[in-house]
Copies of this chain bind each other. A is one copy, B any other.
Amino acid sequence: MVATPALDALETRFRQIAALESAAGILHWDAATMLPPGSAEARGEQLAALAEISHEKLTDPQLAEWFADAQTEQPDAPWRRANLREMQHRYAHATAMPQALVAALTKLRLRSEHQWRNARAASDYAGFLPIFREIISLTRELAAAKSAALSLSPYDALLDSYDPGLRNATIAPLFADLKSWLPEFVGTAIAHQQRQPILPLTATVPIAQQEALGRQMMQALGFDSRQGRIDVSAHPFCGGAPGDVRITTRYREDRFTDALYGVLHETGHALYEQGLPAEWRGLPIGEARGMSTHESQSLFIEMQLCRSPAFLAFLLPKLHAAFGLDGAAWTRENATRALTQVERGFIRVNADEVTYPLHVILRWELEQALLSGDLDAGDLPAAWNEKMQAYLGVTPPNMAEGCLQDIHWPEGMFGYFPTYTLGAMLAAQLMAAARTALPALDRQVEGGDFAPLVGWLRQQVHRHGSYYPTPELVVAATGQPLNPAIYRAHLEARYLG
């Protein structure tokens, strides 16, 4: 065995950082589910201190020396070189940011998020504008600093922090393709659906029964309750820590399908986390690949699998047995159509899979313009509404349902939105590949046997962790790069078929 002291030291350090991040993951989960109302300030201080210590450990000058020495070391296992690449990627991002800028942004984000909540409640863009200008200005500085350090364009440097290896040159042709046909497709799909009325899936289901159904579905899909749990929070998420994956949902008696599909979505994220290679746990290579791939897993389960007729053939008898749901609305055909109904809405998070990419493309275009200075922040509402009209054919009645709706920009998250749509495209592409690999898929799904499909996902995606950069993972998993024709084929089959 060849000695690899520098690599060893780096791996030990990154395991420490991972432990701090795991602790923070549980504290975040606790804050959303368990925290006493008056303890938020104390929690904020704990999380800030953990983040500071992680940052210290990641930007420690000692690491530069270890990275230099590690280049010449020859580890036996090839994964250690891939892990080295991932460690360097993190180090490069962390050290690219001047400490004073990090501190200023952290403080500004807290104030900005607070002001945004008030501004959104009052639908008052003018009140938010001054601090939004500050956010844009500091984000520009951040992008410039990362751009210089990483030799990427400023926007690519931001993209790269959410999805390592993602470049705008990859996104642009994909989104141009979508934009060329999707706005018209929305109208066609709606017209197609209107040929036959959709009966709404209304029902009142006690929360305890919704909870039991959710757990039953999680278990059927392969969620491992020995290393995870589900609880209630105001905003559903998948969090926790490696080996201890915690998802949340929220319940309303009169909206059980919202809770159910929320659980299914988060279960998709959770299956990914639980399927990551345990032997790499604690190292960057053992983590999920990036935001696009993560979103592909939740959308694969929620959208590709669980809104399909095959899944509904499995689900509906269970709803009938558990909740007594019956009648014309609860046929497979109507339920499938109700769960895939296309609507021209204002709100991204409520959007269906046909209109969702247009919400994303709008934000992707606008955030680039805001950062480059082509669009002044004062002109955002007009630009927003104009694009909403052009892409979706509707104009928001107010700012709260328009450019103030998302928390991302107020939190300084620019370069994040594209990952939602890349994830949706990858989910469709994975399903197409899965269908080829698993000829009996529909029959298995109808029978509630999800093991072959989830096993395929584990094999093609989960087990790789961050071994491959995203583009290579897409090819390894599906046989080709992201291909907008596959997404289009999926939408055509589902919405015009």
A57 to B22, CA, bound (A): 19
* This protein's copies in its complex: 2
A235 to B26, CA, bound (A): 22
A52 to B57, CA, bound (A): 13
| A227/B38 contact (C-beta < 8 A), A15-B49, A20-B50, A53-B20 known | yes
Least Cβ–Cβ distance between A393 and chain B, in angstroms: 47
Comparing A29-37, A161-169, A308-316, the segment that makes contact with chain B is A29-37
Question: Are A50 and B227 within 8 A (Cβ)?
Answer: no
Q: Point out the residues of chain B lying under 8 angstroms from A224, CB to CB.
A: 38
| A46/B22 contact (C-beta < 8 A), A39-B243, A41-B243, A226-B37 known | yes
- A contact residues vs B (CB 8 Å cutoff): 15-16, 19-20, 22-24, 26-27, 30, 34-39, 41-43, 45-46, 48-50, 52-53, 224-229, 241-244, 281-282
Residue with the greatest number of chain B CB neighbours at <10 A, chosen from A24, A48, A49, A241: A49
Question: Are B23 and A27 within 8 A (Cβ)?
Answer: yes
Q: Please list 24 pairs of residues, one from A and one from B, whose beta carbons are closer than 8 Å in the complex, sorted by A's number.
A: A15-B49, A16-B53, A19-B45, A19-B49, A19-B50, A20-B49, A22-B42, A22-B46, A23-B46, A23-B49, A23-B50, A26-B26, A34-B34, A34-B229, A36-B225, A36-B227, A36-B229, A36-B244, A38-B227, A39-B244, A42-B241, A42-B244, A42-B281, A45-B282
Q: Point out the residues of chain B lying under 8 angstroms from A42, CB to CB.
A: 22, 227, 241-244, 281
Least Cβ–Cβ distance between A43 and chain B, in angstroms: 7
A70 to B45, CA, bound (A): 26
Least Cβ–Cβ distance between A271 and chain B, in angstroms: 15
A244 to B27, CA, bound (A): 12
A42 to B15, CA, bound (A): 12
Q: Point out the residues of chain B lying under 8 angstroms from A227, CB to CB.
A: 36, 38-39, 42
Q: Point out the residues of chain B lying under 8 angstroms from A225, CB to CB.
A: 36
A242 to B45, CA, bound (A): 11
Q: Point out the residues of chain B lying under 8 angstroms from A37, CB to CB.
A: 226
Least Cβ–Cβ distance between A24 and chain B, in angstroms: 8
Question: Are B16 and A52 within 8 A (Cβ)?
Answer: yes
A46 to B17, CA, bound (A): 10
Look across to chain B and name the residue whose beta carbon is closest to the beta carbon of A231: B34
Question: Are A36 and B226 within 8 A (Cβ)?
Answer: yes
A229 to B19, CA, bound (A): 26
Residue in contact with A46 in the complex, picked from B34, B49, B241, CB distance below 8 Å: B241
Least Cβ–Cβ distance between A312 and chain B, in angstroms: 30
6 A-B pairs closest in CB distance: A19-B49, A42-B243, A38-B226, A39-B244, A38-B227, A22-B46
Least Cβ–Cβ distance between A215 and chain B, in angstroms: 13
Look across to chain B and name the residue whose beta carbon is closest to the beta carbon of A282: B45
Least Cβ–Cβ distance between A317 and chain B, in angstroms: 30
Least Cβ–Cβ distance between A15 and chain B, in angstroms: 7
Least Cβ–Cβ distance between A383 and chain B, in angstroms: 42
Look across to chain B and name the residue whose beta carbon is closest to the beta carbon of A244: B39
